[in-house]
Amino acid sequence: MLLFKNIFAFNKMESQTKLFSKNYFSPKFDQCKISSFEKYEKRKRKITCLSSFFSSPNDQHFSLKAITNVEAIIMENEKEIISQKSNNGIGIIEFFEGKNILVTGATGFLAKALIEKMLRTIPKINKIYVLIRAKDKEAAFDRLKSEIIESKLFKCLEEMHGEYYKQFILSKLVGVVGNIYEPNLGMDIITSQQIAEEIDLIIDSAANTKFDERYDLALDTNVNGPYQLMMFAKKCKKLKLLMHYSTAYANGEREGIILEKPFTMGESITKEKITSISPFTKFPSLNAAKEMDLISKLKNITNNGLEQIVKDLGVERAKFYGWLDTYTFTKAIGEMLINNMRDEIPILILRPSTITSSYKEPFPGWIQGFRVIDPLIYLYGKGDLPGFLGDPNNLLDMIPVDMAVNATMAAIAKHGYLQIPQLNIYHLATSFVNPFSLHKLFDNCYDYFTSFPFPFVNSKGDKIEVNEMKYFDKLSEFSNYTMEVLSKQHRVQDLSDEKELLKIQMRLKRKMEFLNNFSKTYEPYSTYKGWFHNGNMKNLLEEMSEEERGSFEIDASKINWRDYFLEIHIPGLKKHVLEGKKVPT
């Protein structure tokens, strides 16, 4: 259900006078013990702004010319804090000790790995409140137990604590009934008030990650969810930081080196491209409230094909504004909304690229479910994907889940100490420091599956043998080649057996329909022309102590991708996802 209360706040703009009259340091900032705080205040009072404000019936924006750069002043003070902590690094473990944390999306792949790492490395953490969709407390506890506490991921933690494992973990994890896109996050009044008074950090990992999800469902989780979360965050008295997971691909159809820049409400990738060529050309501003309103009107329509209409609408709106699909489009709008509503709340937005199995921790190869690249590996290994629609030299950006977790904890600690009410963006990505191409992925898969083939057979009872991948830039060519290869694999020996022949033909038809749709869904990623700059992650690495770099490894340049896929990722995929489980055919 979509909620529209106070939705007008989505596109609320602040005047430049109000913007520069705010206190850019929280009341708790003195905890950081900045010796130059008074100097900063004096510098801030010297700021002179010359501003002009332009408005039209359809759009609002303003331009500012500042003699003194506020961000530069804040960065200067950040450096002073960091220099004071340089001997001990960031102080990751010390920061998390004693903290109370609210986690959304906790049963998902990334958040679950983050919870495990926090509990394993910081036993003195106080409480982790886990928001879980469930009908009641008992059902929430059952999910907490089955999906987190008893997960294979936590076996190292269980070995550390032995017979006291359950006692330890139940003293730390608290399952909370809730829903990210409802007021107060779906919590009852008493619980929401208690948590609002206690929590120091919010970690938002809730997301609808389906590329072509229905537009209404994607907006619910990825846009209305952040809206409700920000409304709740403003009630949290001790809140030091709110961390939100987005995606690197929220950058949409941007090309070349993509910097770690925040989104603001109204902008779009298409608008960027048009105005870069023709500055005075007008293009409709992207407005979250209007997108939500558009969906609400559609819900009043009675139509048997409404579900497909709503799904197609998401893709159309995404393409119109310059995004790859419904998922990346709604995640970008969610970022805009957070930026628009943040006021004095320190915000950290982390944009991981494609998250893959664990590189080292808590053990190599752990993965939960099919991730983005795994259907490619699986279909290729079983002989159903002999060709691919994409550029073989195109870069695939991936980051192992444990490195994403380590970067998360380091960034949270850094900005949690600072508590400066600003928005910081991090790309958790590898294309800039350790590039890996599409053809290398399939080359590695070929080497693996020629030595360790899947136990699949064709209609003749022969084992499926993989061939080197062929690449196409046209869907029709991909479709013709794939159909030819699959027809040979499943050729009927006895052509007089019409029943068997018809059965195989129908199976091939369904398979080709699936593969064609599959290829079109992946095409924006297999032809992506952007490189995600990760200067903030590089700076984070430099600020960590040697001990922290060992305990919270984030240096992706060390990864040997061939070894990773052959020895870690594909074996991990077979063990944790495919072994003994029903998988797509």
* Pair of tokens at residue 468: 């080197």
3-state secondary structure 294-341: HHHHHCCCCCCCHHHHHHHHHHHHHHHHCCCCHHHHHHHHHHHHHHHH
- The residue whose two tokens read 């009259």 is 21
3-state DSSP helix/strand/coil % of the chain, to nearest 5:
50, 15, 35
Report whether 569 contacts 365 (CB < 8 A). yes
- The residue whose two tokens read 């969610």 is 334
Report whether 424 contacts 348 (CB < 8 A). yes
Contacts 24+ apart (CB under 8 A), 153-161: 153/112, 153/113, 153/116, 153/362, 153/366, 153/368, 154/116, 154/362, 155/362, 155/363, 156/116, 156/120, 156/362, 156/363, 157/116, 157/119, 157/120, 157/362, 160/120
- CA 128 to each of CA 90, 125, 358, 526: distance values in angstroms, whole numbers, following the listed order: 22, 8, 22, 38
User: Pseudo-torsion of CA 412, 413, 416, 422, nearest 10°?
Assistant: -50
Rounded CA separation 347/411 (Å): 11
Cβ neighbours for 414, distance < 8 A, ≥ 6 positions apart? 82, 90, 540, 543
State the Cα angle at 88 between 82 and 89, rounded to 5°. Answer: 50
Active site residue 166: no
Rounded CA separation 333/327 (Å): 10
Three-state secondary structure call for residue 5: coil
Q: Which helix (H) or strand (E) holds 359?
A: none
Report whether 254 contacts 276 (CB < 8 A). no
Q: Which helix (H) or strand (E) holds 247?
A: none
Active site residue 331: yes
Report whether 233 contacts 199 (CB < 8 A). no
Q: State the number of CA atoms in the 13 A half-sphere of 14 facing the CB.
A: 13
Three-state secondary structure call for residue 352: strand
* Pair of tokens at residue 255: 């090309």
Residue 87 neighbours by CB distance under 10 Å: 7
Alpha helices in 392-474 (DSSP H): 401-418, 438-451
Rounded CA separation 238/184 (Å): 17
Catalytic residue among 99, 117, 331, 414: 331
Q: Which residues pair with 243 in a beta bridge?
A: 203, 348
Nearest to 536 by CA among 262, 205, 226: 262
Catalytic residue among 245, 249, 321, 327: 327
Residues known to be catalytic: 327, 331
